[in-house]
Structures are given as structure tokens and as C-alpha cells.
Homo-oligomer: A and B are copies of this chain.
Amino acid sequence: MHTTLVISKLLKKMGWCLCKCRPSLSTFSSLLYSKTSSLPFPSTFLPSSSSTTTTPSIKSNIFSSSISSFASSSAVATGTFTWEDVFRISQSAEEEEDNNSSYLHGYFHKVQLCNRGSGKQSEFLPFVIEDQTVGFIHSGFVEHFKSFSDVFINIKDNSNGGSIGECVSLNPMLKTAEERTSAVAYVIKCLGEEHIPGIRNELYPVVSSFGSRVLFSLERAAAPYFGIKAYGIHMNGYVEIDGQKHLWIGKRSNTKQTYPGMLDHLVAGGLPHGIDCKENVVKECEEEAGIPRSISSRAKPVGAVSYMDIDGYRYKRDVLFCYDLKLPENFIPKNEDGEVESFKLIPVRQVAEVIRKTQFFKPNCSLVIIDFLFRHGYISPENFGYLDLLRSLRIGYCS
């Protein structure tokens, strides 16, 4: 079933609907759920007179940086809020009972932000190599390949009379992974930043499922344009103080190309070609938070989340392997690669409130933190929608 349909059904079941027009102002949650970016600031969320100086930053995050940016393929979200905003919201008085029927709405909304546009799946053609579907390419984007018939071919029908229909493949002359990697890289170079912005010169393996043979490797920034599965690791770094768990949260540098200024995990990263998850966690721990191998090697794999997000020509099919690392109380993270502005240690219950009430977090971090909340007992079956939310963390191709 299409993702949007699944989420719409879940939300409908909980008394919500996908709202594209001006919603009721009765609750903060319903406002956040709206996709309209020109809404007035919700009255239930107006700051007290003592904190007026920070109002614009919150407002711009919720409605400008998050909602409008997420809705546009070219826009980049900007987190113009401050840590002060984060802490105020995380500690704001909670009027709702956590077992009332709307308690999980804010989480559902975050899942939805990672799973847009599934109704548009039919606009994409399967990208097939050696009879395995490794991706999906928008029929509009396929037009760019017309001048590159020595690399890409269109298959109108399955010659065996089967049912695969129209799909995109690579020229059968390209037999080895190396030949394919090099030929596709040439096309990507020709298309350039105009068609594939943000080229990083970092290769992702192209596989039909995790652990299967690598058919070729592809520039990371191009992955969504080819709809290939991208794998990553996200690590929740936490500390237990007097029996209460706290999460180390990063705020991305304002100069980051993607999601500048937004909240992030202590450690996260894509899984490039040629490195396994465990080694990647250790490597990213060192680079992103200055965590030495003696500590990072204790990080535990704890599951995975997945999502599929269609946005224009981009079809993201991401699987994030989740890790937990319990850190010593006295450990202070230190970013080594300039990608993080600062870190703060925040009680898990307060992090949960930030996830529920704002869009301060880089969207896919929300999924991994919601997964953490499930596994550590912060969401319970008494919360209406428990099983629906749990299932929604693995929408898409978790394989």
C-alpha cells in the first residue's frame, strides 16, 4: 500500500486528516501537522512577554525552515532557533495526559515528514540491473539519459514476455561493477550540479538488498535521483544520571550544506562503499564527537528504521541502522570535523517533547529517536496508536 495512504489511514483512525487548507487553531499539534506555511503563529504557543526576543526564531523554524523547506526539493532547511528555544519548549508545561488519544500525534507527524509523496510512485521507472531492481528513476529524469545510450538503456518490454514493463537499465556492454561505476560517474559529471546538486565525490554501493552483491557504486548526491537504497548509521549517545537517561544532542553547524542549524544525533553518517556498519560507527564517533575507539566499540546495534520519500525527481529509500552507546557521565563530546556547532545533554523526556512539538530535528533523526523512546519504555501500549506508530518506523524498503 502507498505510504501516504498508510499514514492517512493511521491518522484518520486517530481522528486526524491530511490537511492542506487552513486548519483549526484549536491545538498546537493540528497546526504542526498542517503543510501550510503561511499560518498565523498558534495562540497556544505564543511566548510570554519575558521571552519575546526569541519568538521569531521559533516561528521561523516551525513554519519557514521546517515546513516550507521540507515541501520544496531545492530549499534547504535552516535551524535559526537557539538552544534556549529548545530548552524552553522541552520543559514547557504539558497539558495533555500521556495516555490521551492525541499524545502520539506529534510523533506521527514526524514520521510523515520522512515519507512524502508515495502517491507519485507511478511517475518512476524501475532501475534494473542483472534482473534485480536496484532503484527507481523519474520518467522526467530519464529524459536526461537520451544522449547517453552507451550507458543507459530503456527497456520497453521484457523480452521473455514477463511483466516487468518499462524500465531503465545499463547498457549490457557494461559488465563489471568497475565499468558501470565509471560510466555512470561520467554521466553524472556531464549532468553536473544543475541536475544533481551537492556532489560530494563519495561513493555509495548499489545493491538490491543489504549485504547482497554490489552491482556498481554511485555518487552519494545522485542516490535519490536513481532511487537506490541508501544505508546509514545513527547513534543515540546517552548518559544515565541518577537512574534518568539523558541524550547527547548536536546542533548542526550553520554552514552545513544540508539542514544547517538543526538538531541532530550525537553521531550519524551514511554508509559508504567498503566499510561495515560497526567500523563506520567507530569512524563517525571519532570524527563527529571525538569519541575514542575504546568507548565507541561498545556501541550496540539495536535495530533499524526505514522510510521512503518522494520529492520531485528524488526518491529516497533509506534504511538507518540504529545504535545505542551508553557514555560515561563525565564524557564531553567534541566535534572534530566542524560539522557540529555544539552539543547539549538533555533528559530523554525533554528530547521527546522537542520531537513531539517542533521540527527542530533533522527529520530522519526523529525516527531514530522515536525508536529509542519505544525501546527504552518512554512510549507505552496505553498510548493510543502505539502499534501504528511502531509499525510506521519501518515504512518502505527495510531490506
Task: Decide: A300 and B398 in contact? CB cutoff 8 A.
Answer: no
CA distance A380 to B300 in the complex (A): 8
Interface string of A361-399 (1 = CB under 8 A from B): 000000000000011110111101111101100100011
Instruction: Chain B residues near A303: list those with CB within 8 A.
Output: 374-375, 390
Given the interface pairs A302-B375, A375-B303, the reply to whether A278 lies near B380 with Cβ below 8 Å is yes
Interface string of A289-320 (1 = CB under 8 A from B): 00000000000111110000000000000010
Residue A162 at the B interface, CB < 8 A?
Answer: no
Chain B nearest CB, measured from A324 CB (Å): 8
Stoichiometry, copies per complex: 2
Task: Decide: A211 and B399 in contact? CB cutoff 8 A.
Answer: no
Sample 30 A-B pairs with CB under 8 A, ordered by A number: A209-B388, A210-B381, A210-B386, A210-B387, A211-B385, A276-B382, A277-B382, A278-B380, A278-B381, A278-B382, A300-B377, A301-B374, A301-B377, A301-B379, A301-B381, A302-B377, A303-B374, A303-B375, A304-B381, A304-B387, A304-B390, A319-B387, A321-B381, A324-B377, A375-B375, A387-B398, A387-B399, A388-B399, A391-B399, A394-B394
Top 7 A-B pairs, shortest CB-CB distance: A300-B377, A277-B381, A301-B380, A321-B381, A387-B399, A375-B375, A302-B375
Inter-chain pairs besides A276-B382, A302-B374, 9 sampled, C-beta below 8 Å: A210-B381, A210-B386, A301-B381, A302-B376, A303-B374, A319-B387, A321-B381, A391-B394, A391-B399
